[in-house]
Every structure is written in C-alpha cells, then in structure tokens.
Amino acid sequence: MKVLLVDNLVMPEEGSLALLDVHPHLGLLALAAVAEADGHTVKIYDPKRLIKFGRIAYDSTLYEQAALDLLAERPDVIGFTALGCSFLFALNVANLIKRRETDLPILLGGPHATMLHRQILDRFEQFDAIVRYEADEIFPAVLENLERRTFDAIPGLSWRGSNAQTLHFNAGSPKVENLDSLPIVNYDHYPIAELDLDLLRIEAGRGCPFMCTFCSTASFFQRSFRLKSAGRLVSELDRLHARYGFSDFKLDHDLFTVNRRKILEFCDVVNDRGYRWRASARVDCVDQELLEKMAEAGCVGLYFGIETGSERMQQIAKKRLDLQLVTPTLAVCEHLGIATTASFITGYPEELEQDQADTLDLLGRSFSASCLTQLHMLAPEPGTPMFDQLGNDLAYDGYAGPYNAFLVGADDRRLVTGHRDIFSTYHYYPAAMPRSDHIFAVEAVDLLRRAGPIILKYLLRVFGGQLSKLMFALRSWAASYGRATRPDADLIQAYISATFGPRHHLTSLFRYALCINGKEIECCSFHTPVPGGFESDQAYQLGPHVRVLSEIHDFEFLMDQIGKLPEDSRLLDESQTGDLVSYLISFSSAGVTGYRIDPGLEVMLEFFNPPRSCSEVAGLVQVLSGERGIDASYFAPLVEAGILVAQTNAVSGTETTPPNTSESAALPLHSAVRLRLTENIL
C-alpha cells in the first residue's frame, strides 16, 4: 500500500515565511517506520518546506495546490497530522481531496484530533478515521483493515462506517510503553541536505508527569513519562552523525531531566562523542551537579518553561515551581556555557496586574546574553483542565498567537469563528485583566528584547531594574496617544525619544538596535557585488534593502562604555557618550550589515533619488559644494557593497532638479568613501 503522510503547517514565532521550521516531523517519521516495517511504501509531504523554498504560494491558492500535489502521488491512503494552530490546512486540503476522490481514505491523528475526535468526525465528513493518542503500534492494523473497514478490534480508533453518518468510537488509549521497541526512523523521507539545518532533532522520549492546567501534553501522553535508554538514544545520534554529518542535536522531550538516574546514564554514554545537544527541563528538575554532568557530556542549551513569575499564579495554574530557583539555575547554566530559554505566559483568566508585574519582573531579571526570554499569550488548548472548565466561554477578536496558520481561504474565518472548540487557539479566555493589557505586554516584550539584553538591562536601570515599571509607563504613555493596543517599533522609539530626548544616547541605542533587529525587510532582490561591475554612467539608486541612520551616537563606542559601568551605576552622562555619526544598515538574505559612514555621505545618497548615474551625482556635488576633487569613482565602494543598486529602467542624464543647495553646500568631502564595518555586538 502506498501511504502518503502530510506534515503540519505551523507558522514560526517570528511570523516570516523565510523562517518556517522545516525540521523533520518526528511523529510522522515514527509512523513511516512502523508502516514500512509492515511492508508499506511511505512518502511524507511537508507544505512548510514547499512554501519556504517557493514551490507553492501561501495565499488563496494554497489548499488547491497542496491537494493537487497530494493527488498527483496517487496514494492508497493519506494521513494528516494536525495541531490546533495548523488544523485549517489539514481540514481544507482534505476537503478538496475528498471532493475529487471520494473513495480515497483520509486519516487524521495527533494531539488536536485526539482531544476533539468526536467533534471533528461529526462535523467534517472528509475524514474517514482518527487515530487517537500514540498511533505507532496500531497504525499497521489500521492500514491492514482499511479496505474492508473492519476496525472494531483496534483500540483508540474513531471511524466512519460505510454509511458516512455512522460513527464508531473504539475504546482504548494506545501508548508505547517501551520506546526502545520502535523501529529506527529514516530521515531520508526529508531532503536533509537541502534544508539548511543547523542541527537535527531526535525523539528522546515522551510524556510529562505534571498537571499544569493549560497544557495538553500531559493529557495526550497520558501523564506517562518515558525515556529511551541511553544506549538506544546514543546509537540513534551515532547513526545520524554517520549518515548526515551532524554533531548538533535537539533531544525532543518536554521534560528530559525528570529521571535523574537516566540522564546521568545518558551523559556517561554520550560523553566521549563530541556531540552538542539541547533539551527541555524544569528548574526544579536540575541542580548544579546534574548541570555540570550535562555540560561535560555536550549539553549546550536548555529550555525552561517558567510560565509565570507570580507565586499565586504558579499555584492556580498548577505549575508549582519554586520561583527562587529560576535566577540561580540560569546563572549556573550561564557559568557552564549552557544557553537557556526562559519562557513565560500571560493571559491567564485569573491573572491580575500584580501577577503580570511579577512575571514581567522575573522575565526582566532573566535577560542576559546567554538567556533568550519569551512572553507568550495563553492559548486555549482542548484536552486541558482549563479548557474543560472555560471552553464554552471562548471569545474572538482576531488577535492570535504567532503559530496559527494564516486565514487565506474564502471560508477560513467562518470556520474559525463558527467552530470555537476546534479552532480554540484563535480565541481567548475572558480574563480579570483587560485583553488589551495582555496583548500590549506580549508585543512590547517581543519588541524590547530586539534591543538585546545589554541595552534592555541598561534601560531598566532607570526603572529600578523592574521590567513591569517600564511596561506600565510605556503603556500609559501609549494610551495618552490612543495607541495602547498593539505597539510597534515606531512606538517604542517614540517613547524612548519623548522620555529621554531625541538626541539622548538611549534614543540612539534603540534606533540602531531596533533597525538591525527589526522584522525581516521584504525586498524583491538583494544586490550581489560583482568585481568590476561598477559603471560610472549606469543609473543607480539607494537599494530598497538599505536604511540610513543619521545623527546617531557611535553604537560601538556606547556599548563599550556601558560594558565598563558597574551593574548598579546610573546611566552614562551625556558628556561620556561621544560624537554623533551616521550609519548605513544593509539587509540581505545573508544577514544584516552595518557601516559607519563619513559625515555628509548620507546627504549625497539623497541625490540618487530619483536614480542617477554616479557621474551625474559627482557633477551635482561639485556644483553645489565647489569641490572639484570628486568624481564618479568616489561612489564605487557603495556599488561594490550593494548600497547603490543599478536601475536598468532608469534614464541617466535627463534634466533633474538639484537637491536643496543650503543642505548640500557644507558637505564634508573625502577623496574616497570610507565604509567602516560595524560589529554586531547585541
């Protein structure tokens, strides 16, 4: 039987299609392995990869194109996996396939389908069966009985009878007790060499024994914590290293360090391999001794779900962390060279302003060069105690978390608003605090952290080290201008400028940092320097991927000065902040490059709007400044650096209006453009 499995379409946190996560889906690889062991042929279709690399468009044609792609494979059965945030894709594509091939079986699985199997089968006839919980051990039986639809003896299966309206719900909750018994997965189902991955993920285990009210992981894995044996796990790492050359890995498990003995065993076995690996943990499931062993064995990254900085909310949400462990645990990790992520949530129904303040302050104290901090909006998840209690009260305002699929289909909004339980991640729980305060905090933290930990912690000195004081002051200021809903980078810069002054060094720091770390700039193309490509009579203009920052403090000098200050000191005196300079910031597919430029060059760059040749601009500068020592070659370094880009359709030599003489007459000129590359030290 030819089996076609379809990957999720989950958006990246940053929202950019260029950053879509194209790592192999470990659950689908596991299903492919058991199906192939039973003699079936399996192929995996990943829409994220096709979108990221331009094979299909993420627009109103997406579902139709994906359906045609899948049907072109002529499969005997198609199996979708879906999370709540990606279910729109599975639902719409499956519907188009079923319309064209009514007899083609379509299966569904994963956490979302498990929790809502009755509702999905009852409302959407495109799905023939839902495989609930862990499907590894029952998937071969489902395939074997698919043609006859004799599913009665298969536990954990919900299915549609020969009469489409007849639904069957078999008892049972399949769970793989011994993960070592599963066949080795084959990553060749994904074109690994083409994906440009910096590491490979590997399934280290399953299940979480804790009882957080907002999380569905424990429910799906039935609160059963399991780890692969050290020998099995390291042998899989060895296989991946030998086949693909990777030495960097992410060990996928929600709570890798729950069983201390097994982690120590793993560290002993992997210690001499030279691998670098990352995992997830709780701060109360690690200590200095364990962290030291992990670091010795190659651990370079840990994700900690803190969730809330409020002691009260820790109890209400049943996370029940000892918050006094957070800061010292992060400090130990930093000392050992283990990079960390500290993740927090706001938007709890019971959360009060003081609870949010506590969360923001702990998040702010966690800022460091080695710790990535996150603040997420609470997402309603089926299968959680919170959803069981409040799922009927969901509200919709169009704002959703970053992982939700875009609404691109004609019926997408109707589906989302008409099926609140199934598309709960697009909704929210009514809460004690105004919804706008939750949104403002999430968006503002995302913006502020783009300034980098050094600048942000420096700013917090003004606010006694408390991020909450900064947040509430920012929110109050924004409200006074009618903008206290969803902040953007312009609002952050305007607040800093209004609070400290437009020529204050903090304003310069945020202008520079928010520019180079802003959302990706979409350009039609990026200039690639070609040796000898400069032509004096070719029309050029400032590239659309270039930003000019004028009248700004020397960023590198400021960062050096800040680095010399004691942590408890006040801000630099303005007499210590140096001179004002100008920068060119160039964005490309390879990254962001900053150049410090000679004073006055930014004014000359304005002469290239509209597009002009370098000869023409040199002539204008000579006329306006009286300086004869400049010619077209002066601008060659700008062309070679991709700052000035050729405009093939522009007409050079036409009559133009000279720029403002009063601005240009005092241009300080040099015999050659000096572009000093700035160091990215955020």
Percent of the chain with pLDDT over 70: 93
Round to whole Å and give the CA distance between 657 and 662.
14
User: pLDDT tens digits for 614-636?
Assistant: 999 999 988 887 777 788 998 99
Mean pLDDT, the chain, integer = 91
Is the CB of residue 359 less than 8 Å from the CB of residue 344? yes
Range in 26-35, 193-202, 273-282, 652-661 the model is least confident about: 652-661
Mean pLDDT over 411-422 rounds to: 98
Q: Residue 533: is its pLDDT beyond 90? A: no
Mean pLDDT on 144-158:
95
What's the average model confidence in pLDDT over 405-427? 97
pLDDT of residue 624: 85
CB burial of 203-234 (b: ≥16 within 10 Å; e: otherwise) equals: bbbbbbebebbbbbbbbbbeeebbbbbbebbb
Record the tokens describing residue 451, joined without a space.
């300034």
pLDDT at residue 163 tops 80: yes
Token pair in block for residue 252 = 């996928």
Positive or negative, the CA dihedral 408, 410, 414, 420 is negative
Q: Do 139 and 31 form a contact (C-beta atoms < 8 A)? A: yes
At 114-129, the pLDDT tens digits run 999 999 999 999 999 9
Flag whether pLDDT at 671 surpasses 60: no
Q: How far apart are CA 428 and CA 380, in angstroms?
A: 6
Residue 389 φ/ψ, nearest 5 degrees: -85, -40
Q: What is the pLDDT of residue 8?
A: 95
pLDDT category, 487, cuts 50, 70, 90? very high
Measured between alpha carbons, how far is 242 from 199 in angstroms, rounded to an integer? Answer: 14
pLDDT above 80 (res 674): no
pLDDT of 393 = 97
pLDDT band at residue 518 under the 50/70/90 scheme: confident
Residue 527 pLDDT greater than 70, yes or no: no
Q: Which residue has the higher pLDDT, 524 or 417?
A: 417
Pairwise CA distance, residues 183 & 174, whole Å: 17
Average pLDDT estimate for 286-301:
98
The mean pLDDT value for 204-209 works out to 95
The predicted-structure confidence for 417-452, as pLDDT tens digits, reads as follows 999 999 999 999 999 999 999 999 999 999 999 999
Looking at residue 381, what is its pLDDT?
96
Q: Is 439 left (phi over 0), alpha (psi -120 to 50) or beta?
A: alpha
- For 103, residues 6+ apart whose C-beta sits below 8 A from its C-beta are none
Mean pLDDT of 43-49: 98
Query: Quick one: which of 675, 594, 678, 596 has its CA closest to 634?
Result: 675
- Do 545 and 526 touch, CB atoms closer than 8 A? yes
Can you tell me the mean pLDDT for 632-645? 89
Report DSSP letters for 521-577, one per residue: PP-S------TT---TTSEEEE-TTEEEEEEEE-HHHHHHHHHTS-TT--PPPGGGS
Which domains, ranges and CATH numbers included, belong to the chain?
2-169 (3.40.50.280), 198-378 (3.20.20.70), 539-677 (no CATH)
**In sequence order, which residues have a C-beta less than 8 Å from that of residue 603 and are 6 or more positions away?**
659, 663, 664, 667
* Mean pLDDT on 245-262: 97
135 DSSP β-pair partners: none
55 falls in which pLDDT band (50, 70, 90)?
Answer: very high
- Token pair for 471: 């947040």
Residue 548 phi/psi, 5° resolution?
-110, 125
Q: So what's the pLDDT on residue 266?
A: 98
Q: Between 674 and 392, where is the model more confident?
A: 392
Q: Which residue has the tokens 């500068």?
A: 621
Tokens 């598309």 map to which residue? 423
At 530, the pLDDT band (50, 70, 90 cuts) reads: very low
Q: What is the mean pLDDT of residues 229-238?
A: 98
Find the mean pLDDT for residues 162-176: 93
Residues pairing with 210 in the sheet: none
Higher pLDDT, 595 or 471: 471
DSSP 446-492: HHHGGG-HHHHHHHHGGGTT-HHHHHHHHHHHHHHTT--SS--HHHH
> What per-residue confidence (pLDDT) applies to 524?
37
With a cut of 90, say whether residue 357 has pLDDT above it: yes
Distance separating the N- and C-terminal Cα atoms of the chain? 53
Q: Give percent of the chain above pLDDT 90.
A: 81
CB 453 within 8 A of CB 369: yes
- Placement of tokens 């039935």 in the chain: 222
The position carrying tokens 């998937």 is 139
Q: Is residue 557 exposed (0-12), middle (13-18) or buried (19+ Cβ within 10 Å)?
A: middle
Closest CA to 650 of 532, 531, 535: 535
- pLDDT, tens digit (0-9, with 9 covering 90-100), for 561-581: 999 999 889 999 999 999 999
What is the arithmetic mean of pLDDT over 327-337? Answer: 98
Question: Which stretches does DSSP call E strand in 200-288?
Answer: 200-203, 205-206, 226-227, 248-252, 276-281
Task: Give pLDDT, residue 665.
Answer: 33
Strand 77-81 relative to strand 2-6: parallel, antiparallel, unpaired? parallel
Instruction: Name which of 131-140, 145-154, 448-457, 655-664 the model is least confident about.
Output: 655-664
Q: Which residues contact 598 (CB under 8 A, 6 or more apart)?
A: 582, 668, 670, 673, 674
Half-sphere exposure of 659 (CA within 13 A, CB side): 27
Which amino acid, 209? P
